[in-house]
Structure 1
Amino acid sequence: MPPAATETVASDAANSTAPAPYLNTMPGSDFNWQVTLAKKVVAITGANRGIGLGIAEVCLANSAKMVYSFDLMEPGEDFFTLQKQYPNFRFVQTDVTTEESVEKAINQVVEETGRIDGLVANAGMTKHQPALKFERPELEKLFNLNVFGAYFCAQIAARKFIELGIKGSIVMTSSMTSYRPNRAAPSAPYGATKAAVRNMCHTLAMEWSHHGIRVNSISPGFVRTAMTYYVEKSPDWDIKMQYYGGMPRLADPRELGGAYVYLLSDASSYTTGIDIPIAGIVGAW
């Protein structure tokens, strides 16, 4: 084959392997995120910012009667911006690692509204470092918030549902790391806490089904928050995404909200004991 023809074939081969233009699936700015939670009172732990705040916005956009943020931190600018748009968004200072604090917060919601229909156990923390460097105090801190906090929030909410005769819904925030390692930022203890959260939902759903209480979980992938914004700025981000597969971007927290709304709503009355991975097919699960 003449040299010119060889060069043409090589060029064509290179072009055939080039990735197609990426079409972003993020809804446009005019998307109204609407699915109804009319008449529902929902509490979300850790909703002053990040994923919790995004869940709160979608719940409010879908006609929730009241949404409460149970958070240890004082609200910031993002919280108050959303509250200006939705005055039925409120903050109750709560330490979710303390049962007394959680019970007090739930009682306050019931005193103010007469009911509580849903609880999202979302508050959590992470720490990414090699397993050989983790010490017991760091593990205890992770498990205390991510596992014990979620468990007792669910337990206390379930007791209140039973007391009030409400067919309530509990949704826990797990993680894609409950299924598989995060190669970009490994954390064996964090993955273990989120696997515990995902697993406990199955048994709680079984135990509490005769009370009309549903328990499910959501496993997010890469989500853009104050703790993860830097990820996309890393120089090897494009290469990492090439090998992860899936959608090469972080999710907007509101993109998770539809699943939470579904699980909190009466539309999911036959849905319990499941986990919904929302990870842009990262890692092909």
Structure 2
Amino acid sequence: MSPAVIEPQVVSNAAPDASTSAQVQQTHENPVYLTTEPDSSFDWKITLKNKVVAITGANRGIGLGIATVCLANDAAEVYSLDLFEPGEDFQKLATANPKRFRYLHCDVTSEESVTKAIDQIVAQSGRIDGMVANAGMTKHQPALNFDRPQLEQLFNLNVFGAYFCANAAAKKFIELGIKGSIVFTASMTSYRPNRAAPSAPYGGTKGAVRNMAHTLAMEWAKHGIRVNSISPGFVRTQMTYYVEKAPDWNLKMQYYGGMPRLADPRELGGAYVYLLSEGASYTTGIDIPVAGIVGAW
């Protein structure tokens, strides 16, 4: 700061009057925070018992894997908020968990659509405890080949969609007085390039998501809302199955070190369950890499 803009302090020995005392007292009052600390009856088991969780993009891929593990850890109900109709894999999980796994049509790039879906969850289940902002897309090609419509598609879904979901969930948590949890799906490309399939715009969207989690965690802690993210590495989905079929796959794995395979989507689920559970009551503003091979690059 320039010395020219530093104002000298005036020291007065006069006794403060009543109005001054009131101002000092008001200035030093502690802010009111809704604590996330569990009550004395909490049993410290990592569980989602009685929790209602929404997961965007859970009709397939990583989202479906997260839903599977949430249900295995006693979530009362899990909702998939997805733009596309459920397929066979969704139906199998729903059949195995009657009345516990549901689908709601939702376009996460529309703030109105997200708010409507969350209102519907509360109308049907009476509450919502967790939001997993997972829906996303990728496009791997040289940076010089991206045009603006492709960039806008990536950022609308991966960044704006994630923000709309987090914001709508936070408003509902505050309205209902629920100490909720929000978990973003980021990516290891938010830390470092994906050498096997570069995509500068995709990495940029996931870097934005990871930073957003840190900042929202700071803003919403006073409401008892925790915000975190998970950064997966290579995960076997409909979008990535081709990776390990590449002729140079084994050579790449020897070069990179680490785990020479793709992850089953369910292998990510434990991290999400932890962050959604009350066992993580003092965990906010962090990213957990679940990356296998990618973490070793």
Q: TM-score range by the shorter chain?
A: 0.7 to 0.9
Work out which structure has the larger RCO, using CA pairs closer than 8 Å and 6 or more positions apart in sequence: 2
Equivalence for 1:99: 111
Question: Is 1:154 aligned to 2:166, yes or no?
Answer: yes
2:86 to 69, 72, 75: 75
Count of paired positions: 252
Equivalence for 2:220: 208
What TM-score do you get using the length of structure 1 for normalisation?
A: 0.87
Q: Are 1:120 and 1:170, in contact at CA under 8 Å, matched by a contact in 2?
A: yes
Equivalence for 1:240: 252
Question: Is 1:193 aligned to 2:205, yes or no?
Answer: yes
Question: Is 1:276 aligned to 2:285, yes or no?
Answer: no
1:52 to 63, 67, 76: 63
Equivalence for 1:7: none
Max Rg structure:
2
Q: Are 2:289 and 2:295, in contact at CA under 8 Å, matched by a contact in 1?
A: no
What TM-score do you get using the length of structure 2 for normalisation?
A: 0.84
Aligned Cα root-mean-square deviation (Å): 1.0
| Alpha-carbon distance in 1 for matches of 2:156, 2:205 | 9
Tell me the CA shift for residue 250 of structure 1.
0.2
Instruction: Give a deviation string over 1:245-270, Cα, whole Å, max 9, x none.
Output: 11000000000000000000000000
Instruction: Give a deviation string over 1:152-176, Cα, whole Å, max 9, x none.
Output: 1000100000000000000000000
| Alpha-carbon distance in 2 for matches of 1:51, 1:260 | 11
SS in 1 for 2:182: strand
SS in 2 for 1:144: helix
Instruction: Give a deviation string over 1:204-263, Cα, whole Å, max 9, x none.
Output: 000000000000000000000011111111111001111121100000000000000000
Equivalence for 1:9: none
Q: Are 1:221 and 1:279, in contact at CA under 8 Å, matched by a contact in 2?
A: yes
Instruction: Give a deviation string over 1:166-198, Cα, whole Å, max 9, x none.
Output: 000000000000000001000000000000000
Q: Are 1:245 and 1:283, in contact at CA under 8 Å, matched by a contact in 2?
A: no
Equivalence for 2:272: 260
| Alpha-carbon distance in 2 for matches of 1:187, 1:72 | 24
Equivalence for 1:40: 51
Equivalence for 1:174: 186
| Alpha-carbon distance in 2 for matches of 1:260, 1:195 | 19
| Alpha-carbon distance in 2 for matches of 1:155, 1:276 | 21
Q: Which runs of 5+ in 1 are unaligned?
A: 1-33
Percent identity, aligned pairs only? 80
| Alpha-carbon distance in 1 for matches of 2:119, 2:238 | 31
Q: Are 1:244 and 1:283, in contact at CA under 8 Å, matched by a contact in 2?
A: no
Greater than 6 Å deviation, 4+ residue runs: none
